[in-house]
A and B are shown apart, each in its own frame.
Chain A
Amino acid sequence: MADQDFPLIFELSQESRTGFSLPDLDVPEMDAEEMIGSSFVRNKAADLPEVSELQIMRHYTALSKRNHGVDSGFYPLGSCTMKYNPKMNEDVARLTGFSHIHPYQATETVQGALHLLYDLQESLVSITGMDTVTLQPAAGAHGEWTGLMMIRAYHEANGDYGRTKVIVPDSAHGTNPASATVAGFEAVTVKSDERGLVDLEDLRRVVDEQTAALMLTNPNTLGLFEEDIEEMAAVVHDAGGKLYYDGANLNAILGYARPGDMGFDVVHLNLHKTFTGPHGGGGPGSGPVGVSAELEPYLPKPILTKVDNQYQFDYDRPKSIGRVKPYYGNFGINVRAYTYIRTMGPEGLKKVSEYAVINANYMMRRLQEQYELPFDRHCKHEFILSGKRQKKLGVRTLDIAKRLLDFGYHPPTIYFPINVEEALMIEPTETESKETLDAFVEAMIQISNEAKENPEIVQEAPHSTIVSRMDETQAARKPVLSYKKGEN
């Protein structure tokens, strides 16, 4: 550590300082080493920091100030739906009756919790238009894999072992092809056309008797609604494949359209996006999966059911793909999502999508003079700009993103989707005010002017953050992934 560096908690440690308060041993002490056997007793204590409680609090408070969250400022990170995380949700999840219950308690003793989960399942059934929902998957990618495994089980149950391919658009999230591989499929890419939608011709070309499924986000990652969805569904279904809906962008269509009505067979949702589970700096999330009746037998077990007004788990599921997670999903995140749905109701959720879409279109129209707009049509909850024009001036999209930091904004998603050059993907969400959107647009306009008049200020950004750009090459070339006394 150099003088200028912010200390690690290990660097604050002083021998014999304590930050804990354990109960006294109130039973007769026995010789633990003898009981365990000396070769199974650690000969050196794990070198954890020895710090006082105030030191810990100051350390993490200082770290929190070195971090930007939605509560710190605007966070238009496309495809991530960085909306406000209601504080009430946090309080509900912390109620003792929800936070301090054990997954192996008898179901009779946790009826309140199961009631909540059951209601949430039913709500998600209605929102997605699917027949049944499981809350077991832990996150979106986990839901994708779960859904694909069900599709696989379905085909195999039909004796259809030749369906080895999953079709994924070139604009898809990286998790889609990755999930396909992990589920034992080969990912095949289908191209987008000049409208930014799946190229129907190309889809017809790649779909065949080996197609297990098409994975699709709708609206897609360009923020555009796949208006040919009915035809696409027919192409895939006619060939015997299934349609998988990636719910990452559900925030655009709540109450306007439902994946079930579009012809999707399996859907996963990201409760930590659309339904306000906080992102937590990367997680935890929750990735429920909804299915049509045809795929219902393959759901991961157990299934939560209601029999004679009692909630219970059904393990007798012979066709199930098995367990995808210990216990029953990320309950704490599900509680937050349920609280949110009950706060908004049907009318509120529809407004969510209406306003998210208005906000995105408004920003898109205000920015299209300064930035290239690759797809000039109504967007849904997010839109894509290209930094092509600025690139000609020597200013890259990465520079624009870094310059936004100086204005106190988290930048949009950049260089994604990969089929758009110098992409900037902007998702304002419905919880931002017009004033915030206007201020962000002004900053973007200023940066575009700077790119013409004073490109260095953009190229060398950020200027106001606590650290400047990081040497990522060094990080990868000589990985230092943990602290070792005297070496960092």
Chain B
Amino acid sequence: MEFRYLPMTEQDKKDMLSRIGVQKSEELFSDIPENIRFKGDLDLKEPKNEFQLMNELTKMAQENVTLKSHTSFLGAGVYDHYIPSIVDHVISRSEFYTAYTPYQPEISQGELQAIFEFQTMICELTGMDVANSSMYDGGTALAEAVNLSAGQTKRKKVLVSKAIHPESLAVIHSYVKGPGVEVVEIDHKQGKTDLVQLESELDENTASVVLQYPNFFGQIEPLDEVRKLVDSQKKTMMITSSNPLALGYLTPPGEFGADIVTGDAQVFGIPAQYGGPHCGYFATTKKLMRKVPGRLVGQTVDEDGRRGFVLTLQAREQHIRRDKATSNICSNQALNALASSVAMSSLGKQGLRKMSWMNIQKAAYMKKQLQLNNINVVFDGAFFNELVVKLDQNIKEVNRILLQKGIIGGYDLSQMDNRLQNHMLVAVTEIRTKEEIDQFVKEVRDIHG
């Protein structure tokens, strides 16, 4: 078998071993004790040539139903949006994707500046002062925010709305075990966080209040009221997780006084790809700048006075501060942050607002059509691009029928909350046409009977 990634010839090997002063390469492994040396062959499939392997993997890929082969109304944190062609052309430039973290600024200005631009765009959208270079995803970014709030306020209790993404909630529960933070879940009522319960749980031990805006049901949480409640306790922080596309039209959390805003930029230029890699973001106030997890790019000048960019405030990070670091994060989602930057640049000031607005329009149309057909749309509040319908049947079964009609139905809410049997979370993005929405309504009505 030939290995096209391995350039060493037999002659090279001979010359190099001789320069090293050994006869055989095995001698270089003589420090591995005999007992633990692996002597067999790894139990892996035999290698395939490029053409055959491509064929095999293409077939494997074709076994999947896709967001292209079917019309999707599935969202719940991962969305099917317009991705400008230019995005993939930019991130396919291998100077970007084959580079490491930009630790050598003289030969990494491209990446550093691209991240600086990303940070700026996230600040603009969220209304915050500072954004980092990215996190793994929206869920872990939110969990890091929770732990930051506990560390900063030296308090051990956080109030987390049950109307946030259920998997973000699950990740928060895992992340708080380290620092030993107690999570008090605040229930949802009429599709929004129950502010009465929130108020009753809020006290001087509360590090932060965590909501999603718009929330998991698509509903727009009243951040103004939440802020007022939070202000009753000195030091308590307001943390939101926000779909950044929604912030193209909605008032940003920063304007409501959020202390930390996190979320996922998957909506900008990143395909669903079965849930990852996406692109978490983390934005906060100037006050918390030195507590931010992960990498930050800052502007400076070189010896000749030229503007340039560097990784900065690194005394927060694991490679400098080790066990005292603000987080253990090292690798992030830089290439996806670049993809999102390109998508946000393409959309620009007008396009992003328009795209956000179109999501509202299409989802509103869906709601209207569903109601005209006597399908129960629960929750009355204002919403972004997702809404909840209650049907007579089990959603899994509904989705099975829809699939036969070429439709990927919405998220089965009974998975996150037992009380929401027969409830489906329906996402309608700007790329869904009137025709597709009408067809969805018709099929659901037919099933619903």
Among the stretches B130-138, B152-160, B194-202, B231-239, the one at the interface with A is: B130-138
Q: Indicate if the CB atoms of A100 and B271 lie closer than 8 Å.
A: yes
Q: Indicate if the CB atoms of B289 and A479 lie closer than 8 Å.
A: yes
Nearest Cβ on chain A to B364's Cβ, whole angstroms: 5
Q: Which residue of A lies closest to B357 (CB)?
A: A32
CB of A358 within 8 Å of the partner chain: yes
Bound CA–CA A186/B271 (angstroms): 40
Query: Which of these, A331, A344, A358, contacts B16 with CB under 8 Å?
Result: A358
CB of A426 within 8 Å of the partner chain: no
3 closest A-B pairs by beta carbon, nearest first, are A327-B275, A97-B61, A280-B335
Q: Which residue of A lies closest to B358 (CB)?
A: A25
CB of B77 within 8 Å of the partner chain: yes
Q: Indicate if the CB atoms of B437 and A27 lie closer than 8 Å.
A: yes
The contact sample of 18 A-B pairs, CB cut-off 8 A, is A18-B348, A48-B344, A69-B94, A69-B97, A71-B94, A71-B98, A142-B136, A145-B178, A175-B319, A184-B177, A184-B179, A225-B29, A229-B33, A281-B111, A342-B56, A361-B20, A431-B6, A482-B123
Nearest Cβ on chain A to B76's Cβ, whole angstroms: 6
Write out the residue numbers on chain A whose beta carbons fall within 8 Å of the beta carbon of B115.
Answer: 281
Interface size on B, residues (CB 8 A): 205
Q: Indicate if the CB atoms of A102 and B74 lie closer than 8 Å.
A: yes
Q: Which residues 441-477 of A have a CB within 8 angstroms of B?
A: 462, 465-472, 474-476
CB of B8 within 8 Å of the partner chain: yes
Q: Which residues 154-168 of B have a CB within 8 angstroms of A?
A: 165, 167-168
Q: Indicate if the CB atoms of B124 and A48 lie closer than 8 Å.
A: yes
Write out, one digit per residue, whether chain A residues 97-123 have a CB within 8 A of any chain B CB (1) or not (0). Answer: 111111111100111110110010001
Q: Indicate if the CB atoms of B111 and A282 lie closer than 8 Å.
A: yes
Write out the residue numbers on chain B whose beta carbons fall within 8 Å of the beta carbon of A465.
Answer: 106-107
Q: Which residues 29-87 of B have a CB within 8 angstroms of A?
A: 29-33, 35-38, 41-48, 50, 53-54, 56-69, 72, 74, 76-78, 80, 82, 84, 86
Write out the residue numbers on chain B whose beta carbons fall within 8 Å of the beta carbon of A96.
Answer: 61, 66, 68-69
Bound CA–CA A351/B170 (angstroms): 42
Q: Indicate if the CB atoms of A281 and B342 lie closer than 8 Å.
A: no
CB of A141 within 8 Å of the partner chain: yes
Q: Which residue of B lies closest to A347 (CB)?
A: B1
Bound CA–CA A469/B250 (angstroms): 42
CB of A424 within 8 Å of the partner chain: no
Q: Indicate if the CB atoms of B38 and A261 lie closer than 8 Å.
A: yes
Q: Which residues 324-343 of B have a CB within 8 angstroms of A?
A: 324-325, 327-336, 338, 341-342
Q: Indicate if the CB atoms of B431 and A23 lie closer than 8 Å.
A: yes
Bound CA–CA A127/B22 (angstroms): 27
Query: Which of these, B7, B130, B434, contacts A433 with CB under 8 Å?
Result: B7
CB of B240 within 8 Å of the partner chain: no
Write out the residue numbers on chain B whose beta carbons fall within 8 Å of the beta carbon of A119.
Answer: 45
Q: Indicate if the CB atoms of A99 and B298 lie closer than 8 Å.
A: no
Q: Indicate if the CB atoms of A410 and B104 lie closer than 8 Å.
A: yes
Write out the residue numbers on chain B whose beta carbons fall within 8 Å of the beta carbon of A405.
Answer: 104, 106-107
Q: Indicate if the CB atoms of B301 and A474 lie closer than 8 Å.
A: yes
Write out the residue numbers on chain B whose beta carbons fall within 8 Å of the beta carbon of A358.
Answer: 8, 13, 16-17, 20, 25, 28
Write out the residue numbers on chain A whose beta carbons fall within 8 Å of the beta carbon of B22.
Answer: 378
Q: Indicate if the CB atoms of A149 and B174 lie closer than 8 Å.
A: yes
Given contacts A60-B93, A106-B403, contact A100 B67 (CB under 8 A): yes
Nearest Cβ on chain B to A252's Cβ, whole angstroms: 9
Q: Indicate if the CB atoms of B77 and A326 lie closer than 8 Å.
A: yes
Nearest Cβ on chain B to A256's Cβ, whole angstroms: 5
Query: Which of these, A48, A57, A229, contacts B352 with CB under 8 Å?
Result: A48
Q: Indicate if the CB atoms of A142 and B323 lie closer than 8 Å.
A: no
Given contacts A253-B32, A261-B38, A342-B45, contact A56 B86 (CB under 8 A): yes
Q: Which residue of B lies closest to A461 (CB)?
A: B106
CB of B204 within 8 Å of the partner chain: no
Write out the residue numbers on chain A whose beta carbons fall within 8 Å of the beta carbon of B130.
Answer: 481-482
Write out the residue numbers on chain A whose beta carbons fall within 8 Å of the beta carbon of B21.
Answer: 365
Write out the residue numbers on chain A whose beta carbons fall within 8 Å of the beta carbon of B400.
Answer: 106
Bound CA–CA A26/B382 (angstroms): 21
Known pairs A255-B41, A281-B99; list 10 more (Cβ under 8 Å): A46-B247, A50-B348, A56-B342, A70-B98, A97-B60, A102-B67, A227-B33, A328-B274, A357-B25, A468-B306
Write out the residue numbers on chain A whose beta carbons fall within 8 Å of the beta carbon of B101.
Answer: 279, 281-282
Q: Which residues 388-411 of A have a CB within 8 angstroms of B?
A: 401-402, 405, 410-411
CB of A64 within 8 Å of the partner chain: yes
Q: Which residues 144-176 of A have a CB within 8 angstroms of B?
A: 144-145, 149, 152, 173-175
Nearest Cβ on chain A to B167's Cβ, whole angstroms: 4
Given contacts A230-B36, A262-B36, A467-B306, contact A102 B16 (CB under 8 A): no
Q: Indicate if the CB atoms of A434 and B434 lie closer than 8 Å.
A: no
Write out the residue numbers on chain A whose beta carbons fall within 8 Å of the beta carbon of B74.
Answer: 102, 104-105
Write out the residue numbers on chain B whose beta carbons fall within 8 Å of the beta carbon of A126.
Answer: 42-44
CB of A21 within 8 Å of the partner chain: yes
Q: Indicate if the CB atoms of A109 and B42 lie closer than 8 Å.
A: no
Write out the residue numbers on chain A whose beta carbons fall within 8 Å of the beta carbon of B433.
Answer: 23, 26
Nearest Cβ on chain A to B384's Cβ, whole angstroms: 8
Q: Which residues 372-394 of B have a CB within 8 angstroms of A?
A: 382
Nearest Cβ on chain A to B95's Cβ, whole angstroms: 4
Among the stretches A37-45, A198-206, A235-243, the one at the interface with B is: A37-45
Bound CA–CA A97/B274 (angstroms): 10
Query: Which of these, B124, B297, B330, B355, contacts A481 with CB under 8 Å?
Result: B297
Which of B54, B115, B304, B347 lies at the interface centre, i.e. has the most chain A CB atoms within 10 A of its CB? Answer: B347
Q: Indicate if the CB atoms of A67 and B96 lie closer than 8 Å.
A: yes
Write out the residue numbers on chain A whose beta carbons fall within 8 Å of the beta carbon of B422.
Answer: none
Q: Indicate if the CB atoms of A467 and B106 lie closer than 8 Å.
A: yes
CB of A30 within 8 Å of the partner chain: yes
CB of B257 within 8 Å of the partner chain: no
Given contacts A326-B137, A326-B275, contact A481 B289 (CB under 8 A): yes
CB of B182 within 8 Å of the partner chain: no
Q: Indicate if the CB atoms of B325 and A257 lie closer than 8 Å.
A: no
